[in-house]
Amino acid sequence: KPTAARNSRKPCRPRCRFRRGARELSKLRDHPHVVSVHEVGGLDGPLEYFVMEYLAGGDLYHALCGCRVASERALEMLVDVARAAGVLHQNGVVHRDICPANILLTGDLVPKLGDFDLVRVDQSIGGATATGQALGKLVYAAPEALRDGATVTPAADVYSLGKTALFAAHGAELPDELAFIGLGPFINQLPCRAEVKAMLTRALQPQAAQRYATGAEFAEALSAYGA
């Protein structure tokens, strides 16, 4: 009696994710808007670590909520972050956890994309996420990432970038219910131009095929209308 084929890929455990994230970060150590890694694969007894640059400005979430960065400046920062995500996408990598807390800032408020622990790499061996496992911060995660993080495309990062831009335009923490309801009414009440609202609406479409395809495309739209 035939049986259903089993998924041969094993879930990537936290330690595996940690190593993979450090490796992927180190590949982009020279990108001006990705956190630089100085040492990968260090051991301190039973603990593993990697050494990254120190970023004195904290993260975008706290900078905006603490009024150190204005909404307009936050949107300008996201252009650079989206371009960095576009480089990932060109190399077959999906970040899967873009959100304001994972955009770190230098002392001069230069934004850098960090926290690569949940990256998905095309054709990775032994580093897959279990099918059906949801990934990412709830309110910033694309609908498809909440269903199955193993199969997402760069459009999932575009959704997260769009939600981060929504956070920037709103100027405060996003309500948790925005993970579950239509975004049209919330976008319409924002104090910004119609072109910016249209850009956000496209980036935050529930269907991946209806969004900007990559971070580079989103960066171009955000540069034209949002910043």
3-class secondary-structure state, position 36: coil
What is d(CA 187, CA 176) in angstroms, rounded to the nearest whole number? 15
What is d(CA 164, CA 75) in angstroms, rounded to the nearest whole number? 9
Contact by Cβ (8 Å): 86, 216: yes
Any idea how long the chain is? Answer: 227
Residue 115 annotated as catalytic? no
H or E element, residue 71: helix 71-90
Catalytic: which of 44, 59, 80, 97?
A: 97
Helix pair 194-203, 154-170: axis angle to 10 deg: 140
What is d(CA 1, CA 4) in angstroms, rounded to the nearest whole number? 10
H or E element, residue 73: helix 71-90
Active site residues: 97
